[in-house]
Amino acid sequence: MKILFVYDEIRLDIPGFTGYYQEGLASLSACARQAGHETELLHLTRPIPREEFVAELERRSFDAIGFSSLTPTFPDVRRLVPFARERFPATPILYGVHPTLDPESSIQVPGVNGVCVGEGEEALVEVLDRMQTDRDWSDVRNFWVRRGEDVVRNPTRPLVTDLDSLPLPDIELFDFPNLFSSREKMAMLTASRGCPYKCTYCSNHAQQQQYPNKGDYVRFKSVDRTIAEARQRIHARADVEIRYLDFSDDILPLRRSWFSEFAERFPKEVGAPFQCNVLLSLLNDQSVRELKQAGCGLLVFGLESGSERMRDLMKRPPVTNQQIVHLAGLLHQHDLHIGTYNMVGLPTETTEEMLETIKLNATIHPNKMNVFFFQPYPNTDIHRMSVEMGLYHPSRDLYNNWRTGPVLDKGTVSPEQIIFLHRFFKPLVRAYRIGRRGTRAFDSTFDRILERVFFAHPSRMELCTRAWDRFHATAKFLYVKAVLPFWSRRKRELSDHLDVTNPQAPAWRRMVRRGRRFATLAWRHGPQFLRYATPRKIANLALAQWQMLTRATRVRGYPFEVIVDPNNYCNLRCPLCPTGQHVNERNYGEMPFSRYEKLLDELAPYLFKVRFYNWGEPLLHKSIHDMIAAAHRRRVSTEISSNLSHNWTTEDADKLIRSGLDRLIVSLDGASPETYRVYRVGGDFEKVTRNACLPTARRRSGSGRPRSRSSSS
């Protein structure tokens, strides 16, 4: 028996969208294949006309069709099912995911034979087994089945409590190399199912009511199983490079004992950075340290609204704005990036409350902000409230994504204001953040400006919104069509280097490559360049670049960047380093400060940067802070690369910051003590990680430097 899954995942807001991995379908396919059935996927990521859809079906062989979609794309499934029924009148057509929330409207779709209510692994296998042997399947639990004009509403079976008993998801069901997430070098997975909270806008509380064992709604896979799935995603295909994992669980660190074990084992056995969803009120200093230890690079939490009244209306877990600011600061202290989920256009929400959401984001400094229009999912508490208040008619279809527009009919705020605040949410966050640096009264002043310039003029807001939408659509199109198809940065830099230095390459190609390489450097080092640039330095740099381009045999001008080796000895014995292995025949020593100052006096008017590293460990030099300060006084950028595996104190960190160092590179070469010791012989991993936090910690006292990064082999 072969079933064709038709997954409707249309996203009109993302040009070139090729779809994301969906674990529910992968799990259904794995269970069906384990039972001896065959599966195939037709992944729809853009609107498809009738003729093309029918042609796609005709190119495939199958015995049953299983449509799958989330609630926003239900209208498109309702459009496509009759096309499939017309062309294949005898083929059973099933439908799942959205019917769990709204089975009544789903079973009424013309052409649908049955809809799956709840999790479908066991139910689908039972249906396929019966279809294969021509047995009646109208009494299979979890399915509502249409029989003529009648509908058989079967009860829902208990939830599968042991998620480890299910086979590993069938990721081969998807075109893995062409998934949108794979193109971003990211893979998605889950370690759990369900959420214990009853937020009125979320579908979890409505789904939980479908099952007889409601108390088992929240279930976790074992850490062994989670690690196995993470490895599966990373090594799924030899032609797909996965660098990052996205745990799509509602709350990954929900169970502390489970997460403590996960945090200890995951970096050792997988070692890939990841992002996950968290609940701020569950975080404390220990859980934040464990998130950092596990390799979490981005924590995303549902802020939803900056108004405590609105969060109470949504039955969010109780947390005040002051607590949110404190917990966000705790995450920043541990150098964890944070993201927020935000909604606008909620029932009874006012303009002032939407601005509170923007201002709270400006206060907590998230690295990523997701902004959505409110959409009332069927049979949720807030859906019933919206209908009772006359704000939403249940027959109205939702938009196919969360960024199109507001759906409430008679809200307290005009649609123009809601759309304006949605489109300009992120720019307004930045405006509040920057404005607060100048005056404490900025918020009230800026609020009055928004009211007088925009909110009082709907046509003006509409004009700005249209202009922003066109700009945003163009930028996204260029990103998807021009940026993503390019090689990775390393390959591009290698290609640039080969074309620039190859005398046989055409002159125009060398000029284009050099220009693109210069643009990349300008993007990375532009702010630093502007801080230290002078007319003389710029002229000298232009002269040097021109001589390199024309391959001049006589060099004019001065160096614009130099490497200064303060000393040629080191405290480690790295096996591939001549210094560490003591194979250099020269004597070990330090550069005298007087000689360094003489060099600096001659070159400083032309220099942009001094790199203090080459053969030795620069922080062992007794005058290194004075050398950095001397360059800083002469408006020259400084950079150090250090192993940091020595007795470094907070006083040393303070000296480094006061000296004016611009960049600190930490040579780590290992993500765990075991791998670190393989190469960094004589080093102490714990000492390095502790010392690496000192500049960051001291920098928070007010200095923006040094910026730090790690390097590895």
**Mean pLDDT across the chain:** 86
The per-residue pLDDT for range 596-634, each reduced to its tens digit, is 999 999 999 999 889 988 888 888 888 888 999 999 999
- Per-residue pLDDT tens for 240-290? 889 999 999 999 999 999 999 999 999 999 999 999 999 999 999 999 999
Q: Cis omega (within 30 of 0) on the bond before 706?
A: yes
Which of 89-103, 397-411, 691-705 shows the highest mean pLDDT?
89-103
Q: What whole-number distance in Å separates Cα of residue 274 and Cα of residue 103?
A: 35
647: CB partners within 8 A, 6+ apart: 687
Residue 502: what pLDDT? 46
Q: Where are the beta strands (DSSP E) in 483-586?
A: 561-563
Confidence of residue 454 (pLDDT cuts 50, 70, 90): confident
What are the pLDDT digits (tens) for 389-400?
999 988 888 888
pLDDT given for residue 643 in this prediction: 85
Which pLDDT belongs to residue 656? 83
Is the pLDDT reported for residue 140 higher than 80? yes
219-220/192-193 β-pairing: antiparallel
Give the burial class of 427: count Cβ atoms within 10 A of its Cβ; 0-12 exposed, 13-18 middle, 19 or more buried: exposed
Residue 434 pLDDT grade (very low, low, confident, very high; cuts 50, 70, 90): confident
Amino acid at 326: H
Question: Which of 152-161, 525-534, 670-679, 689-698 has the least mean pLDDT?
Answer: 689-698
Q: Is the pLDDT of residue 299 over 70?
A: yes
**What are the backbone dihedrals phi and psi of residue 231, each rounded to the nearest 5 degrees, phi first?**
-65, -40
Report in angstroms the alpha-carbon separations of 465 from 349, 411, 450: 20, 19, 14
Output the pLDDT for position 385.
93
Let me know: does 198 contact 383? Beta carbons within 8 Å.
no
Determine the pLDDT at residue 114: 95
Measured from the Cβ of residue 664, the count of other Cβ atoms closer than 10 Å reads: 25
Q: What is the pLDDT averaged over residues 476-490?
A: 57
Instruction: Say how far apart CA 435 and CA 442 lie, in whole Å.
Output: 6
Q: Which amino acid is at 265?
A: R
Least confident of 320-324, 332-336, 409-413: 409-413
Mean pLDDT of 570-577: 82
Q: How many whole angstroms separate alpha carbon 586 and alpha carbon 580?
A: 13
At residue 346, the pLDDT reads 92
Checking if the pLDDT of 559 tops 60, the result is yes
Instruction: Please tell me whether residue 370 adopts helix, strand or coil conformation.
Output: strand
- What are the pLDDT digits (tens) for 531-548? 788 889 888 888 887 887
Helices (H) and strands (E) in the chain, counts: 27, 20
CA distance 627 to 612: 9
Tokens of 462: 């509409």
Q: Look-up: residue for tokens 């070990």?
A: 588
Tokens of 243: 């660098």
Confidence band of 80 (pLDDT split at 50, 70, 90): very high
Average pLDDT over residues 337-366: 93
pLDDT interval class at 123 (50, 70, 90): very high
Q: Using an 8 Å Cβ cutoff, are 280 and 318 in contact?
A: no
Split at pLDDT 50, 70, 90, the class of 711 is: low
**Predicted pLDDT at 57:** 95
Is the pLDDT at 487 greater than 50? The verdict is no
Contacts of 165 (CB under 8 A, 6+ apart): none
What confidence tier does 460 reach under pLDDT thresholds 50, 70, 90?
confident
| 437 band by pLDDT with thresholds 50, 70 and 90 | confident
Name the burial class of residue 603, with classes exposed (0-12), middle (13-18) and buried (19+) by CB atoms within 10 angstroms of its CB.
middle
Instruction: Give the lowest-confidence range in 64-73, 409-418, 420-429, 689-698.
Output: 689-698
Return the sign of the alpha-carbon dihedral for residues 683, 684, 685, 691: negative
**CA gap 346, 361 in Å, rounded:** 17
Return the minimum-mean-pLDDT range out of 349-353, 627-631, 694-698. Answer: 694-698
Q: What pLDDT digit, counting tens, does each position of 488-516 carry?
A: 444 444 444 444 444 455 565 556 666 66
The CA angle 203-205-208, to the nearest 5 degrees, is 105
CA gyration radius, the chain: 30
What pLDDT score was predicted for residue 501? 42
The per-residue pLDDT for 696 is 61
- Check if the beta carbon of residue 2 is closer than 8 Å to that of residue 62: yes
Q: How far is CA 247 from the centre of its chain?
A: 10
Decide: 80 and 112 in contact? Cβ < 8 Å: no
Q: In terms of pTM, does the model score above 0.85? A: no
CB-neighbour burial class of residue 671 (10 A; exposed 0-12, middle 13-18, buried 19+): middle
Q: DSSP string covering 127-140, please?
A: HHHHHHTT---TT-
Assess whether pLDDT exceeds 80 at residue 410. Answer: no
Q: How many CB atoms lie within 10 A of CB 339?
A: 17
- The residues, any chain, with a CB within 8 Å of residue 562's CB and separated by 6 or more, are 599, 603, 607, 609, 610, 611
Q: What's the mean pLDDT in 299-327?
A: 93
Phi, psi (deg, nearest 5) at residue 175: -80, 80
Res 570: pLDDT: 86
